[in-house]
Amino acid sequence: MDEEFYAIIKLVSGEEILSLVLVDDSTDDTLLVLQSPIIIKMVGPASIRVKPWMDLTEDDIHFVRLDKVITMTETTNEKLIQLYNNYVNDDTNVSSSIDVYKPAGEVKVSEQKGYISSVDSARDMLEKIFKGIKES
């Protein structure tokens, strides 16, 4: 067995997965040993959707025969590796959760960064303004 490495793997099923990989070529049938593989999918010019490769398992290690792989490439992209490690190490992830990677510079809206009201309170305020104009 060689060293572990991060790889993006395209399977014959069409799935693209990102995983920490170890190649087991100790037998005639070469196996890929995948640690916590995740499915990655582009959902825009700069966003990646991430979810577990297998939703209903609690196992971290999976084995894939080499004949089920179309191509595999090692990745040294720090953002992808950080995305993978953050997702795998986040204890709040449940099998049905989906995270979306946001590039640097994008922030979530909060009361301190632009969020000023809820939909209900904004609707009430706009109705009062509209009724006030209509009565005049």
Name the CATH architecture for the domain at 5-104: Roll (2.30)
pTM of the predicted model as reported, rounded to 2 decimal places: 0.63
The pLDDT, as a whole number, for residue 71 is: 94
Tokens 């509209």 appear where? 130
Taking only the tens place, the pLDDT of each residue in 96-125 is 333 444 555 555 666 656 667 778 888 888
Q: What is the DSSP string of 36-66?
A: EEEEEEE-SSS-EEEEESSTT---SEEEEEG
Token readout for 6 is 């991060």
